Amino acid sequence: MKTSTTFSILFWLKQSKAKNGEAPLYARLTVNGKRAEISIKRKIKIINWNSTKNCVKGTNQKARIVNEHLNQVYKGIIQAKNELTLENKFITSQAIKSRYLKEDEQNHTINDIIKYHNDDMINKLKWGTQKNYYTTQKYISKFMKKCFNTSDMYLKQLDYNFILKFEKFLREYQPLDHQKKMGNNSVMKHIERFRKMITLSFKLEWIERDPFINFKSKFEKVERGYLSEIELETIEEKQFSISRLQLVKDLFIFSCYTGLSYIDVINLIEDNINFGIDGELWIIKKREKTNKILRIPILPKAKKLIDNYKNHPKSEINGTIFPKISNQKLNSYLKEVADVCSIKKNLTFHLARHTFATTLTLTNGVPIETVSQLLGHSRISTTQIYAKVVETKVSLDMKVLLSKLSSNKLVENPNNNLIMKKK
C-alpha cells in the first residue's frame, strides 16, 4: 500500500519578536503535521507583509529584493527535500531543515554534538553533573588525538569499533599526576555520557543509525562501604592540632549524623535551620542534586558542630554554617584523618552519608521508608542498596532472642502441655 506525505512551505512574520514595527521573517516547513522553522535572516515592517500571498507588498526595490530572496529560499527547501527523496531518506520537516541549512550528518561532527548537548543542558544540569560531562569531553579529545591524530571527526564516521577503541583507551589511560588508572565503573560512566550525546545526535537526525545500539555497559556491583560504631567513635574522639584536619573531620562527622552530601553540607546556611513539627531544630532545605526537600531532625552531636562553627570567621564571610573547602581537598585530607585514626577503609566524604544510612539509622531499626526520606531519595529502590545492613540488625536481634530463650527452659506440666519456666 502506497503512503502519501503531506508537505508545505509557509513564509510568515514572527510578530512575537517584533520591535519598532518590524518583525523577522521565517519559513515554516510542515511534513505530515510536524513543523520546523527556518529563520530567513530578514526583517520587514509588519504593515508591508502580505500574509495571503506570502510576500512583501509593493514593487519597490527593497520589496523586490526580499521577495527574490524568499523565492530562492523556497527553491532551496524544495531541492533539499528532493535530495533526501533521491537518497531514500526518511522525510521529516527537521531532516529537510537540516539538509537546507547543510547541518545534516554530512557536516556534523563529534564536537558539534558535544557543544549542542552542553549548551542545551547548561540550565538543566547541576554544576557537578556538568563538570562530569566536561571531563568526558576532555577524554574524547585525548582519544581522537592519540588514535586518529585529529581534534574532531564526522559523526557519520562513528561505528561500533570506534566505541570499543574508546573503551580500551580509557582503561589503559595513565594520568600524568601519578593517579591510578580509572576503574571499570569510571570507564563505563564516561562511555554512558558519550552515549547520551550520540543518542541525542541520532534523535536530532544528524546520523542515520546509533553506533551504540549493540553496545552493552558492564558495570560492576560495588559494596557500599560505611563505618562501624567503633570506627565512627574513633574518629569522633580524635582531636587534631592542625586546623584543616579538624575542620575536615568535623564536616565528616556532621554528615555521619545528618546524611547530607558534601554540596549540601558546604552550602548549609542559617535559614536552613528551623523548628520542625516536634518543636525541635530540623534541617529543612532543598537537596542540591535533585531539588527534593530535605527534612532532617538535628541530632545532638550535629547540633554541637553547628554551634562550634556558627561564629567562625570564614563561615561569616561566606554566610554559611561551615567554612568552605573544595570537595577534592576535603577528600584528600580525609586520607590523612584515616591514617591518623588507623582506619583501613577508603575514607571519602560520601562514606559519611553511607554511615548515616547504615550505622546510624537502618542498623538501629529506623524503617527504610524513613531513611529514604532523610536521604532525599526520589525512589525507595535507591535506598535499598543499603538495606543489606539490616542483616546486621537481624543478627543482633536474633542473638538477643537466643539469649532470652536460653535463660528459660521447657518443662512438662501434669497435663502434658509444654510451659516456659525461668531458671
Q: Looking at per-residue confidence, does 42 or 105 come out higher? A: 42
Q: Are residues 54 and 96 in the same domain?
A: yes
Per-residue model confidence as pLDDT tens digits over 210-231: 999 999 988 877 666 889 899 9
Share above pLDDT 70 across residues of the chain, in percent, rounded to a whole number: 91
Per-residue model confidence as pLDDT tens digits over 257-295: 999 999 999 999 999 999 999 999 999 999 988 888 999
Phi, psi of 2 (to 5 degrees): -80, 130
For the segment 299-310, the average pLDDT, to the nearest whole number, is 94
Q: Are residues 188 and 235 in the same domain?
A: no
Tell me, what's the pLDDT at 170? 95
Tell me, what's the pLDDT at 336? 94
Dihedral angle sign, alpha carbons of residues 320, 321, 323, 324 = negative
- With contact defined as beta carbons under 8 Å apart, do 334 and 248 qualify? yes
Q: Are residues 120 and 89 in the same domain?
A: no
Tell me, what's the pLDDT at 337? 95
For the segment 106-116, the average pLDDT, to the nearest whole number, is 85
Q: Looking at per-residue confidence, does 418 or 405 come out higher? A: 405
276 located within any domain? yes
Of 66, 100, 134, which marks where a domain is finished?
A: 100
Per-residue model confidence as pLDDT tens digits over 62-109: 899 999 999 999 999 999 999 888 877 778 888 899 888 877 655 688
Q: Are residues 79 and 144 in the same domain?
A: no
- With contact defined as beta carbons under 8 Å apart, do 104 and 202 qualify? no
Q: Residue 339 corresponds to which amino acid?
A: D
Q: Are residues 115 and 96 in the same domain?
A: no
Angular region, 58: left φ>0, alpha ψ -120 to 50, beta rest: left
Residue 237 has pLDDT above 90, yes or no: yes
Q: Range of 34's domain?
A: 7-100
Cell 561564629 belongs to residue = 311
332 located within any domain? yes
Q: Looking at per-residue confidence, does 393 or 246 come out higher? A: 246
Of 100, 126, 158, which marks where a domain is finished?
A: 100
Residue 5 has pLDDT above 80, yes or no: no
For the segment 355-381, the average pLDDT, to the nearest whole number, is 88
Residue 2 has pLDDT above 50, yes or no: no
End-to-end CA distance of the chain: 90
Q: What is the mean pLDDT of the chain?
A: 87
Q: Are residues 129 and 77 in the same domain?
A: no
CB-based burial of residue 398 (10 Å sphere; 0-12 exposed, 13-18 middle, 19+ buried)? exposed
The structural domain count of the chain equals 3
Q: Are residues 238 and 372 in the same domain?
A: yes
- With contact defined as beta carbons under 8 Å apart, do 283 and 264 qualify? no
For residue 50, the SS3 value is strand
Q: Which of 84, 106, 113, 119 is nearest to 203 (CA)?
A: 113
Instruction: Return all residues near 289 (Cβ < 8 A) that are at least 6 apart.
Output: 126, 128, 261, 263, 376
CA atoms within 13 A on the CB side of 382: 11
State how far the Cα of 294 lies from the Cα of 271, in Å rounded to an integer: 13
- Give the largest Cα separation in the chain, rounded: 121
376 located within any domain? yes
Confidence of residue 398 (pLDDT cuts 50, 70, 90): confident
Tell me, what's the pLDDT at 4? 60
Per-residue model confidence as pLDDT tens digits over 158-194: 999 999 999 999 999 988 765 678 889 999 999 999 9
Confidence of residue 1 (pLDDT cuts 50, 70, 90): very low
Residue 418 has pLDDT above 60, yes or no: no
Q: Are residues 25 and 96 in the same domain?
A: yes
In order of 105, 112, 114, the CA distances from 206 in angstroms are 4, 10, 13
Q: Are residues 185 and 55 in the same domain?
A: no
For the segment 126-141, the average pLDDT, to the nearest whole number, is 86
**Residue 333: its H or E element:** helix 327-340
Mean pLDDT lowest among 12-26, 293-307, 354-368 = 354-368
